[in-house]
């Protein structure tokens, strides 16, 4: 998979979609492996940094609704990164790990919905 870091919205969208897919793939296994969570957390932090730079450079041309969507997506990426860090640093029970995975999945889904819309509007 090639990630387009030149376009922070596309990059963050790709990260969220990837996390969503990986969470679905490990749902039937013994939970989210720490090395996988670590890799996801790293790219999530990169996506956050990209959206921060994007908002600093383009917030004045985005308009209120798109700016809010990007800002909410950034906040959700930050929450997702914290949840992934929780998986890495804690010894969660299987039940708790399943709950955290569900929250990560729901968060990633919301990010993909918002950023898909933003990407569509920006590309027009």
For the stretch 106-122, pLDDT in tens is 999 999 999 999 999 88
Contact (CB, 8 A) for 110 and 76: yes
Neighbouring C-beta atoms of residue 108, cutoff 10 Å = 26
Averaged pLDDT, 23-37: 84
Model pTM score: 0.89
DSSP state of 33: -
Averaged pLDDT, 76-105: 94
| Domains along the chain with CATH numbers | 8-123 (1.20.120)
């Amino acid at each position: 998979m090639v990630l387009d870091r030149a376009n922070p919205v596309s990059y963050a969208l790709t990260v969220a979609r990837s996390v969503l897919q990986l969470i679905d793939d490990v749902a039937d296994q013994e939970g989210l492996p720490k090395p996988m969570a670590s890799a996801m957390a790293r790219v999530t932090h990169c996506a956050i940094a990209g959206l921060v730079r994007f908002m600093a450079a383009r917030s004045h041309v985005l308009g209120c609704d798109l700016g809010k969507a990007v800002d909410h997506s950034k906040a959700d990426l930050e929450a997702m990164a914290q949840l992934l860090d929780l998986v890495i640093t804690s010894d969660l029970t299987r039940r708790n790990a399943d709950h955290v995975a569900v929250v990560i999945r729901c968060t990633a889904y919301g990010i993909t919905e918002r950023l898909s819309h933003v990407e569509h509007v920006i590309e027009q």
